[in-house]
Structure 1
Amino acid sequence: MSIGVLAHLFGRLPYRELAAKARLYGFQHVQLALWKAVSDVDFSQKGKLSPGLAMSIAEAFDKEKVHISVLGCYLHFFDRDEAVRRNNVERCKELLRYARLMGAPMVAFETGSLPDRDYTEADWQVMKRVLEELAEEAERWGVFIGLEAANGHLIGTAEQLHAMLEEVPTSQIGVVLDPGNLLHEGNIARQEAVIEEAFRLLGGRIIACHAKDRLLQPDGNVITKPAGLGQMDYNLYMKLLQQYKPEVHIIMEEAAEEQMASCKSFIEQIRNQYSVL
């Protein structure tokens, strides 16, 4: 279970500099979100990728002995504006087409959210159809979709993600598990049950994981922190991860550059307790 990092935690940089920075900080792999992390190519609209550019990005990371474990796709996939939604779907399809040329086995995303969180059955059905379409594209190009549940999103719980996977029964869709995304003010007091349920429902479908932390504040709010600086039960997380998915890639979130070494070490120390069993 090697530890990687979100490439955009280094800021937006030329992709060769991003690769070098990841290597400098001791990471073996990254989650690369092109339009959040790369500054020397404008990926804000679809159509910029080509085999040559994709291979150039892969070569830049290969040179630094860092691979791209996940292509991140931060888009809204059930947007009620059909034109916006179609553009987002096409942008994701472009990533699916070129992922393998960048060495990435998957394209990962959350569903998207609404400010009022007033989700309807129609939203669910739109998301289902989008996933079916993207899964077909993923199968065509031999890559996975990594679907992630996030509190407040249309798919916000392990139970909801499990339900969607049941409704879209394809082996092209796996789970990017992030317990930090599942913990909030209403359930952090019973986090053990929340984490165990996530593994029970989704453990067999996990293809990558995220690592951040959650902290209950004195005022009752739960905030996000870098790994090791909150209250999330990392012993339970790493134990279950080793049990269900040994050697799965873990991608660190949230940490500032000056925190990366200590947060990475924190995860590795706990992980190593279980990986030797």
Structure 2
Amino acid sequence: MSGVRQGVAAQARGKLLLGAPLFVKTSDPRELAREARRQGYSAAYCPAAAPHETEKLRAIEQGFAAENVVLAEVGVWVNLLDADPAKRKENLQRVTDGLAVAEAVGARCAVTICGSFNEKVWYGPHPKNLSQEFFDAAVENARKIIDAVKPKRTRFSYEMMGWSLPDSPDSYLKMIRAVDRTGFAVHLDVCNLVNSPERFYRNAALIEECFRKLGRWIVSCHAKDLEWQPEMNVHFVEVIPGRGEIDYRAYLRGLAGLATPAPLMLEHLKTAEEYAEGARFIRKVAGELGLEFA
């Protein structure tokens, strides 16, 4: 399969990668990849699989490679800092398995969040989520996951969050240095970083800072948008790309400047029509910038 993978890389080089969830009833990887291409996508979320499902993993890798669709990420959304020790151990294994799957199929990364000390909402805010204890636990977990799998062609990454670490380019850079593993990389979610009026209004500068400081480690990104709905306190709401204030010109310019294209993956929308609208907007902005999608 090395020749096929090289072909995918050659086609993608210099062009942007865009993907989204696929609203199609099939478990056949080749059909999923064809549907991605039919919708104009060059990247996709990895279908669910387990490390022991050797034939399924091979079919996923071959099916998407045959259609020149890049597998962007294996998402494992669990709390690595669960208050229940048994659950925490189980979640650590689930994320480790996710990285093993990403390695097997050649996905760009496996991704989760660092977790949360919030005992009611697994990803929710908690004062200790900004503490040294939280940082140290996240570093330890990343090392354990990476050392267990020893990835060669994929990476493990944490998604940025607005109320827990890493919550800025500098805090992510600090975490990269602390983890100290080549298997650790950056998953960029700009909307998750916008947690104040200043960042909302100056999100282009925030985006540029992310790519300037973290660009060499960025392996996958999420595409969303934010609208500020006036209430008695700050209230940002995720909306379809193009309906909010995120500067996609800055976002796409940053992606275009990466040495290795990082997939830009739409998420958190409700219908195929909403995803199509978001994709049209992103492609329109790319066209205005003279950028192309693979």
Match of 1:103 among 97, 103, 106: 106
Partner AA of 1:269 in structure 2: K
Q: Aligned partners of 1:165 and 1:203: how far apart in 2?
A: 12
1:184 counterpart = 2:195: yes
Q: Secondary structure at the match of 2:219?
A: strand
Match of 1:130 among 127, 136, 141: 141
Partner AA of 1:217 in structure 2: Q
Q: TM-score, normalised to structure 1's length?
A: 0.82
Correspondences of 1:1-277 after superposition (within 5 Å): 1-7=15-21, 10=23, 14=27, 16=29, 18-19=32-33, 21-32=35-46, 34=48, 49-62=52-65, 65-113=68-116, 114=118, 115-119=124-128, 120-140=131-151, 142-186=153-197, 187-219=199-231, 220-245=234-259, 247-255=261-269, 256-272=271-287, 273-275=289-291
- Could you say if the C-alpha distance between residues 13 and 221 of structure 1 is closer, same or farther in structure 2, counting changes exceeding 3 Å? farther
The answer for unaligned runs of 5 or more in structure 1 is 35-42
- Could you say if the C-alpha distance between residues 211 and 245 of structure 1 is closer, same or farther in structure 2, counting changes exceeding 3 Å? farther
Q: TM-score, normalised to structure 2's length?
A: 0.78
Q: Aligned partners of 1:199 and 1:23: how far apart in 2?
A: 28
Q: Aligned partners of 1:154 and 1:24: how far apart in 2?
A: 38
- Do the aligned partners of 1:210 and 1:251 also contact (CA within 8 Å) in 2? yes
* Greater relative contact order, per chain length (Cα 8 Å cut-off, separation 6+): 2
- Could you say if the C-alpha distance between residues 48 and 249 of structure 1 is closer, same or farther in structure 2, counting changes exceeding 3 Å? closer
Q: Secondary structure at the match of 2:237?
A: strand
Q: Aligned partners of 1:26 and 1:199: how far apart in 2?
A: 26
Q: Aligned partners of 1:190 and 1:183: how far apart in 2?
A: 9
Q: Aligned partners of 1:229 and 1:71: how far apart in 2?
A: 28
- Do the aligned partners of 2:20 and 2:41 also contact (CA within 8 Å) in 1? no
- Do the aligned partners of 2:169 and 2:214 also contact (CA within 8 Å) in 1? yes
- Could you say if the C-alpha distance between residues 197 and 66 of structure 1 is closer, same or farther in structure 2, counting changes exceeding 3 Å? closer
